[in-house]
Amino acid sequence: MAAIRSFVAVELGDEVKGRLAEIQRQLKAAVPSGSVRWVQPDSIHLTLKFLGDVPEERIRAIVAALERECAPVTPLTFAVAGAGCFPNARRPNVVWVGVEDSTGQLLALQQAVERALNPLGYPPEGRPFKPHLTLGRANRTASGADLRRVGDLVGGLHVAQLGQVRVAEIVLMRSDLSPAGARYTPLAHIPLGGAGT
């Protein structure tokens, strides 16, 4: 059976996506041409867990495990604010906008996802969860000087709060890679406790 490249994510509302698109437009106009491959604003999401290639016959078990673990998690809200680069501004690989989780509820949700998937052979990541929204990725052909310029521009960007995202469900998403960029298709919507009733 075919394998499906999959991840678990939170989808964003149109209002927040529109504001992210505006920040992308500002950055696109300022950074050296071709230095960053930008994510389509409609495709921007918050990744909770990347699974990689999943055999098709395992999707049902993954959805059932997520439903079980996420049923007790109450719907939550997080704020979108701030910007930066991974791993840092001197060597930007990913350009992101930040996610503020002052209550710890988002981390609790991400840990529930980890608990659900660990027994199925998807162990927790070794590094701590750093919630973020990817705006773009450094182009492999970009020069070091161009990337440093990207880092400087992102570092100088002041991103005030762009809005709140209410999370009433998580989504198991399919990712199909193409030269035009990744295309994402929901495989299953998993409601959080109380959200589906």
Q: Which of 17, 19, 45, 174 is catalytic?
A: 45
Q: Which of 17, 19, 132, 174 is catalytic?
A: 132
Is 158 designated active site? no
Distance CA 129, CA 107 (A): 7
Q: Where are the beta strands (DSSP E) in 107-182?
A: 132-138, 163-167, 169-176
What residue has token string 């840990």? 111
Distance CA 163, CA 186 (A): 24
Element housing 5 (H / E):
strand 3-11
Is 132 designated active site? yes
Cα torsion 71, 77, 82, 88 to 10°: value is -10
Task: Provide the annotated active-site residues.
Answer: 45, 132
